[in-house]
Amino acid sequence: MTPHLWETRCERACKLRDRLFRDTRTDAFRVLHGEGDRVPGFVADRYGPVVVVRTDGDGAAARLDDLVGPLWSALRHRGVTTLAVRTGARGQTVRVEGVRGAPLADVVRVEEHGVPFLVDLARGQKTGAFLDQRENRRRVGELARGRRVLNLFSYAGGFSLTAALGGASHVTSVDVAAAAHATAQLSFRAAGVDPRAHAFVTADVTSFLDGARARGERWDLVVSDPPSFAPNERAVSRALAAYRSLHRACAAVLASDGILCAASCSSHVDAGAFLGTLDDASLGRSMGLIELAGAGPDHPTLAAFPEGRYLKFAILT
């Protein structure tokens, strides 16, 4: 792309976000979404005054310097004070370095629909948080009132916090990473919620569910948001089997009139195949799909690029 084209596409992407987030109650969102913003191989996420860029593939990495200048020009008069780049593929050492503006802070406080969160930019996954689930977190908050909630693969506790603020009677968060629970508890305190009133369990999800079923424990609302089970096309069959096993285990600890929220971020598993892991035979009980959502509008996609619609968020009861 020519310099002018970089500038045009960065500015157009920023103007879309200007329209989407006018009320200022959300300052954590995706600024650039790869193909959907006509900048394939690049994502850029905003966390308050900081924007973090991540590349996908060697081609995008080689053109990173071409993007940084035009993107900074589009951002710096929109309240962004630091532009950073995250490097390091799966299995490699991850580094986040500021490339424009003020020094980069390791942790920043942001808001989603007025709900405060702490985001660990230095050690968090992706660019620091999973911004694609923002609208689904809000929906869980709406469903949680008066319910006992189980959040599996809870990471930094986004679904847990919105459930607690939505009036859940109790929230149990399960993740293998104790450090993620520490970040979640900081967010609870920032939002005025006492984390001691809820449970944070450091455990393998499968082992936890097996134990909970054996003890006869039940929850009114179960959220399952696992990491991708299908990193490539060859893994799809194995991934579908893993989803079926997980969803059956979730259904086994769900109250008779409960709600199951099941997510998949695997781009190689389309919506039809994913829903096939949530049928009556897979769950071992009769449940109906009442909603199917995806990522928020700050994650635009191309009509001819279905792989871009990677996130599935199914609500069943």
For residue 275, give every residue at least 6 positions away whose Cβ sits within 8 Å of its Cβ, in sequence order, or none. Answer: 289, 292, 312, 314
- Which residue type, as a one-letter code, is found at position 40? P
Cβ atoms of 174 and 154 within 8 Å: the answer is yes
Residue 163 structure tokens = 């459930």
The predicted pLDDT at position 232 comes to 82
C-alpha distances out from residue 138 to 135, 163, 237, 259, Å: 5, 8, 32, 15
Cβ atoms of 141 and 114 within 8 Å: the answer is no
The predicted pLDDT at position 261 comes to 98
Residue 6 structure tokens = 């970089």
The predicted pLDDT at position 87 comes to 87
Domains in the chain (CATH in brackets) are 3-104 (3.30.750.80), 131-316 (3.40.50.150)
Residue 119 structure tokens = 């985001």
Three-class DSSP labels, the chain? CCHHHHHHHHHHHHHHHHHHCCCCCCCEEEEEEHHHHCCCCEEEEEECCEEEEEECCHHHHHCHHHHHHHHHHHHCCCCCCEEEEEECCCCCCCEEEEEEECCCCCEEEEEECCEEEEEECCCCCCCCCCHHHHHHHHHHHHHCCCCEEEEECCCCCHHHHHHHHCCCCEEEEEECCHHHHHHHHHHHHHCCCCHHHCEEEECCHHHHHHHHHHHCCCEEEEEECCCCCCCCHHHHHHHHHHHHHHHHHHHHCEEEEEEEEEEECCCCCCHHHHHHHHCHHHHCCCCCEEEEECCCCCCCCCCCCHHHCCCEEEEEC
> Which is catalytic among the residues 10, 14, 261, 265?
265
The predicted pLDDT at position 90 comes to 59
Q: What is the pTM of this model?
A: 0.94
- CA atoms of 115 and 147, how far apart (whole Å): 20
- Which residue type, as a one-letter code, is found at position 178? A
- Whether 265 is a known active-site residue: answer yes
Tens of each residue's pLDDT in the chain, 317 residues? 787 899 999 999 999 999 999 988 999 999 999 999 999 999 999 999 999 999 998 899 999 999 999 999 999 999 999 999 998 765 567 789 999 999 999 999 999 999 999 999 988 888 999 999 999 999 999 999 999 999 999 999 999 999 999 999 999 999 999 999 999 999 999 999 999 999 999 999 999 999 999 999 999 999 999 998 877 878 889 999 999 999 999 999 999 999 999 999 998 899 999 999 999 999 999 999 999 999 999 999 999 888 889 999 999 99
For residue 277, give every residue at least 6 positions away whose Cβ sits within 8 Å of its Cβ, in sequence order, or none. Answer: 240, 243, 244, 247
- Residue 108 burial (CB count, 10 A): 21
CA-closest candidate to residue 76, choices 121, 122, 146, 11: 11
